[in-house]
């Protein structure tokens, strides 16, 4: 009886499809991390108010920080907080002037297609120990400058269950 010779197959593994799968998973994870990561950091010297808000923050073009000493627009000191609190008018002129300039820049960039987010969005960060009148003045000043979509930065609390 003649015996057949069996070929010894090395059993090579085709990993191309596995590499494709890992690439897709990696891109998916990176994209989710980039869109749900920390889009804004709070100032070091602030204690933000506490909230139970569950919305994920969106990317913003500009933020205003109001602490016990200064009002900062994009990390530039614009006006002392004490002067803003002592002022009788709601509109804070130095802040309004800066915001109007930034608003024009946003509109020009949007028209040129450089940026593609909704203009008129701003985030306000207040120290929770500040008086309410400065919050009112800042919101009114933002409205006069054309920033009608005002958000407040807060610290999220864990809900008790």
Task: Give yes or no for residue 116 having a pLDDT over 60.
Answer: no
Task: Give yes or no for residue 97 having a pLDDT over 90.
Answer: yes
Q: Is residue 10 part of a domain?
A: no
Contact (Cβ atoms closer than 8 angstroms) between residue 70 and residue 77: yes
Q: Is residue 20 part of a domain?
A: no
Task: Give yes or no for residue 51 having a pLDDT over 50.
Answer: yes
Query: How high is the pLDDT of residue 6?
Result: 63
Q: Is residue 136 part of a domain?
A: yes
* H-helix or E-strand spanning residue 85: helix 81-86
**Number of independent structural domains in the chain:** 1
Task: Give yes or no for residue 55 having a pLDDT over 50.
Answer: yes
pLDDT for 5-45, tens place per residue?
666 666 666 778 778 888 998 888 887 765 544 455 556 66
Tell me the whole-structure pTM to 2 decimals. Answer: 0.61
Percent of the chain with pLDDT over 70: 66
Q: Is residue 147 part of a domain?
A: yes
Domain range for 106: 50-156
d(CA 93, CA 83): 11
The candidate with the shortest Cα–Cα distance to 92, out of 120, 67, 117, 71, is: 71
Could you tell me the two tokens for 91? Answer: 């509109």
Q: Is residue 11 part of a domain?
A: no
């Amino acid at each position: 009886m003649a015996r057949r010779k069996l070929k010894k197959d090395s059993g090579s593994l085709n990993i191309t499809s596995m590499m494709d799968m890992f690439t897709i998973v990696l891109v998916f994870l990176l994209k989710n991390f980039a869109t749900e990561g920390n889009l804004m950091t709070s100032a070091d010297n602030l204690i933000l108010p506490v909230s139970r808000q569950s919305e994920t923050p969106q990317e913003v073009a500009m933020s205003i920080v109001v602490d016990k000493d200064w009002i900062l627009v994009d990390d530039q000191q614009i006006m002392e907080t004490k002067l803003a609190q002592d002022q009788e008018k709601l509109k804070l002129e130095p802040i309004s002037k800066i915001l109007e300039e930034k608003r024009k820049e946003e509109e020009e960039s949007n028209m040129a297609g450089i940026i593609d987010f909704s203009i008129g969005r701003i985030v306000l960060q207040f120290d929770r120990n500040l008086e309410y009148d400065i919050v009112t003045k800042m919101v009114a000043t933002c409205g006069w400058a054309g920033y009608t979509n005002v958000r407040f930065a807060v610290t999220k609390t864990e809900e008790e269950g």
